[in-house]
């Protein structure tokens, strides 16, 4: 089961890239309304990742990010530690939030879109918010790696964690 989830996680970026190139050819850049909606949905998901609107918002954000040619996010699962959280521990919700929070940051801070450390720090921060929100209702979803990253965040070391983790983005996660 874990290997199946890992294969899916590795294939998502490949499929995402192929679909993205095809979809981008069919439409123009994102609109101001779409960007506002994306930011709203990303922040909604950070605070209520399992709410009644979460699935719809996650689907809209994913498709929108595939289609728009002017907002590109990079996925580095290593930002969340050496292991990808599995489905039972809400891995999809936590991992997808990396890209949603990165996109929201880039929209809200257009002058920092090339600052990959800031972009990935925002994505990691958003994923940690999702994890913390999930733990309130599902304490058994606790993961030591994410708890360790939260401890670093709480000490003001999240950016340092991101810098260190980005060095391992090309390495496989288990």
Residue 50 lies in a domain: yes
Q: How confident is the model at residue 2 (pLDDT cuts 50, 70, 90)?
A: very low
In whole angstroms, give the CA distance from residue 102 to residue 116: 10
Beta carbons within 10 angstroms of residue 165's beta carbon: 19
Could you read off the pLDDT of 105-129 as tens digits, one per residue? Answer: 999 999 999 999 999 999 999 999 9
Question: Is the separation of the CB atoms in 62 and 96 below 8 Å?
Answer: yes
Residue 58 lies in a domain: yes
Domain with 16 in it: 2-166
**Confidence check: pLDDT of 139 > 60:** yes
**Confidence check: pLDDT of 171 > 50:** yes
Helix (H, G, I), strand (E, B) or coil at 31: coil
Residue 80 lies in a domain: yes
Beta carbons within 10 angstroms of residue 136's beta carbon: 8
* Burial class of residue 60 in the structure, from the number of CB atoms within 10 Å of its CB (0-12 exposed, 13-18 middle, 19+ buried): middle
pLDDT of res. 161: 97
Could you read off the pLDDT of 146-161 as tens digits, one per residue? Answer: 999 999 999 999 999 9
Residue 16 lies in a domain: yes
- Closest among 80, 72, 130 to 106, alpha carbons compared: 72
pLDDT of res. 20: 47
Number of domains in the chain: 1
H helices, E strands: number in the chain: 7, 0
Could you read off the pLDDT of 5-55 as tens digits, one per residue? Answer: 444 444 555 555 555 455 445 789 999 999 999 999 999 999 999 999 999
Chain-centre distance for alpha carbon 102? 7
Beta carbons within 10 angstroms of residue 3's beta carbon: 8
Residue 174 lies in a domain: no
**Confidence check: pLDDT of 135 > 60:** yes
Supply φ then ψ for residue 81, to 5 degrees. Answer: 115, 180
Residue 59 lies in a domain: yes
Question: Is the separation of the CB atoms in 79 and 123 below 8 Å?
Answer: yes
The structure tokens listed for 126 are: 């958003």
Q: How confident is the model at residue 170 (pLDDT cuts 50, 70, 90)?
A: confident
pLDDT of res. 16: 52
Higher pLDDT, 81 or 170: 81
Could you read off the pLDDT of 63-81 as tens digits, one per residue? Answer: 999 999 999 998 898 899 8
């Amino acid at each position: 089961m874990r290997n199946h989830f890992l294969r899916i996680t590795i294939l998502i970026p490949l499929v995402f890239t192929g679909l993205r190139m095809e979809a981008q050819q069919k439409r123009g850049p994102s609109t101001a309304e779409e960007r506002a909606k994306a930011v709203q949905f990303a922040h909604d998901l950070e605070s209520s990742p399992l709410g009644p609107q979460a699935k719809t918002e996650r689907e809209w954000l994913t498709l929108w990010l595939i289609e728009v040619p002017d907002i590109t996010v990079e996925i580095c699962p290593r930002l969340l530690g050496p292991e990808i959280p599995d489905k039972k521990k809400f891995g999809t919700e936590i991992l997808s939030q990396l890209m949603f929070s990165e996109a929201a940051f880039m929209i809200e801070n257009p002058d920092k879109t090339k600052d990959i450390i800031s972009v990935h720090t925002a994505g990691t921060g958003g994923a940690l918010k999702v994890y913390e929100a999930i733990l309130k209702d599902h304490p058994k979803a606790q993961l030591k790696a994410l708890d360790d990253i939260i401890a670093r965040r709480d000490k003001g070391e999240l950016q340092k964690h991101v810098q260190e983790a980005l060095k391992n983005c090309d390495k496989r996660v288990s």
